[in-house]
């Protein structure tokens, strides 16, 4: 990225963070058009010439396909930054076995990171590769200058959910003595607080080995449709941040 692009990217970040309220973007549950994920909302350079919204992520033809693994590429039209090598979260008390770095990003997570690690411009999509937008001010992949593709400081993803979740769906503490089980996590039958038609299970990615994995989409709805966020920000969350309901949907605390 040259200096001019860095500068324009920074001004876009500033513009987005000051306007990322419900006033500027559609409210939770109102769909992707007009939401934070409608790339036409940002600068003139970002806009799709035909005003398409889905096109930044999907294309009906000429989509990207995976050559290495049987994975999830829902007619994907956005360049993938890095399909292997994100470093996982770890801690002394983590019970979950996070899949190795190459498979940790199975399912939607790598699709999210194709924009949110800050290496590929968010407006790069099929037939439109101007690359004028670099947006994620948090850059999940690390500092904008030295990307090492780390997710070590982010909530763990990329593990088989029910291998670790040993509490009951209703929220009773589990009784398992097995290593690798956490009795204070509800099993995947649990429902999202204030969004009771949605179970955790329905938000896990079931891979080719039929294992249901926790991903970014377990907490967020990229299409701004099933989320019920409330507050001053729309984080596309399946349960509100208010009273940390999103966390308590799974954690027995
Ligand atoms: C910012 C990127 C983005 C945009 C814009 C977007 N999608 Fe998606 N879409 C995704 C991701 C990521 C997934 C993977 C599943 C998930 O994350 O839940 C997905 C999955 C899907 C799926 C398959 C799974 C499902 O939920 O049925 C369909 C169908 C789909 N999108 C349709 C659309 C349509 C139609 C539009 C435009 C109106 C659209 N998407 C806009 C990112 C996007
Ligand atoms: C085509 C690029 C693209 C893809 C793919 C994408 N995003 Fe985004 N996302 C953006 C942009 C651009 C914004 C608005 C700027 C920002 O907040 O960084 C945004 C905003 C968000 C926000 C709100 C941020 C805020 O501060 O209000 C969340 C949460 C989010 N994305 C999560 C996801 C998740 C989870 C996925 C995958 C399921 C995903 N995104 C896929 C580009 C993308
Ligand atoms: C365990 C639930 C959970 C998972 C999994 C998760 N997030 Fe989030 N995310 C949140 C919550 C909650 C927020 C709201 C901000 C806060 O409370 O600090 C958020 C905020 C965000 C934001 C906007 C604010 C920021 O900090 O930049 C983005 C972008 C985002 N998430 C993307 C992702 C991506 C990409 C993944 C997968 C790599 C992911 N999230 C996985 C819960 C989650
Ligand atoms: C969809 C279910 C789900 C949601 C929502 C969720 N978590 Fe988690 N969280 C888990 C699971 C499963 C683990 C792995 C637990 C383990 O390995 O012991 C975990 C791990 C963690 C850890 C690391 C524990 C350790 O031993 O290092 C922390 C801290 C945590 N979550 C906090 C939160 C917070 C705070 C929120 C809300 C912002 C949240 N979680 C939302 C399921 C969830």
For the segment 18-31, what is each residue's pLDDT rounded down to a tens digit?
334 455 788 999 99
Q: Which of 20-34, 63-77, 163-177 has the highest mean pLDDT?
A: 163-177
**Residue 137 confidence (pLDDT):** 40
**Residue 5 confidence (pLDDT):** 36
Does position 196 have pLDDT exceeding 90, yes or no? yes
Q: Check if 240 has its Cβ closer than 6 Å to any atom of ligand 4.
A: no
**Protein residue closest via CA to atom 9 of ligand 2:** 37
* Residue 225 CA, ligand 1 centroid: distance in Å: 10
Does position 148 have pLDDT exceeding 90, yes or no? no
**Protein residue closest via CA to atom 18 of ligand 2:** 136
**Protein residue closest via CA to atom 43 of ligand 4:** 250
C-alpha neighbours within 13 Å on the C-beta side of residue 51? 2
Q: Check if 246 has its Cβ closer than 6 Å to any atom of ligand 4.
A: yes
**Protein residue closest via CA to atom 14 of ligand 2:** 36
Which carries the bigger pLDDT value, residue 74 or residue 142? 74
* Residue 37 CA, ligand 2 centroid: distance in Å: 6
Ligand lying closest to the C-alpha of residue 123:
2
What is the gyration radius of the CA atoms in the chain, in angstroms?
19
* Residue 133 CA, ligand 4 centroid: distance in Å: 32
Q: What is the mean pLDDT of the chain?
A: 79
Give the Cα separation of 66 and 70 in Å (integer): 7
Ligand 2: nearest atom to the Cα of 136: 18
Residue written as token pair 């409210």: 27
* Residue 94 CA, ligand 1 centroid: distance in Å: 31
Ligand 3: nearest atom to the Cα of 157: 5
Question: What is the pLDDT confidence band of residue 69, given thresholds at 50, 70 and 90?
Answer: low
pTM of the predicted model, to two decimals?
0.91
**Residue 86 confidence (pLDDT):** 79
In sequence order, what E strands does the chain have? 191-192, 195-199, 205-206, 212-213
Ligand 4: nearest atom to the Cα of 94: 26
Q: Check if 52 has its Cβ closer than 6 Å to any atom of ligand 1.
A: no
| Cβ contacts of 192 within 8 Å, gap of 6 or more | 198, 199, 200, 228, 238, 239, 245, 246, 249
């Amino acid at each position: 990225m040259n200096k001019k692009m860095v500068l324009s990217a920074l001004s876009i970040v500033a513009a987005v963070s000051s306007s990322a309220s419900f006033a500027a973007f559609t409210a939770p549950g109102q769909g992707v058009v007009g939401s934070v994920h409608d790339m036409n909302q940002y600068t003139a350079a970002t806009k799709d010439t035909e005003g398409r919204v889905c096109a930044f992520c999907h294309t009906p033809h000429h989509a990207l396909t995976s050559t290495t693994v049987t994975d999830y590429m829902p007619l994907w039209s956005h360049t993938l930054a890095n399909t292997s090598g994100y470093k996982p979260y770890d801690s002394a008390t983590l019970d979950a076995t996070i899949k190795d770095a190459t498979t940790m990003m199975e399912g939607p997570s790598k699709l999210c990171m194709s924009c949110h690690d800050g290496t590929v411009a968010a407006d790069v999509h099929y037939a439109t590769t101007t690359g004028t937008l670099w947006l994620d001010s948090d850059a999940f992949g690390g500092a904008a200058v030295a990307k090492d593709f780390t997710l070590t400081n982010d909530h763990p993803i990329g593990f088989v959910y029910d291998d670790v979740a040993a509490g009951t769906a209703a929220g009773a503490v589990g009784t398992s003595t097995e290593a690798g089980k956490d009795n204070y996590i509800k099993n995947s039958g649990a429902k999202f607080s204030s969004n009771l038609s949605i179970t955790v299970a329905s938000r896990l990615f079931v891979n080719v080995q039929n294992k249901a994995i926790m991903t970014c989409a377990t907490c967020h709805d990229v299409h701004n449709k099933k989320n019920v966020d409330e507050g001053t920000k729309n984080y596309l969350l399946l349960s509100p941040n208010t009273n940390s309901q999103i966390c308590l949907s799974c954690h027995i605390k």
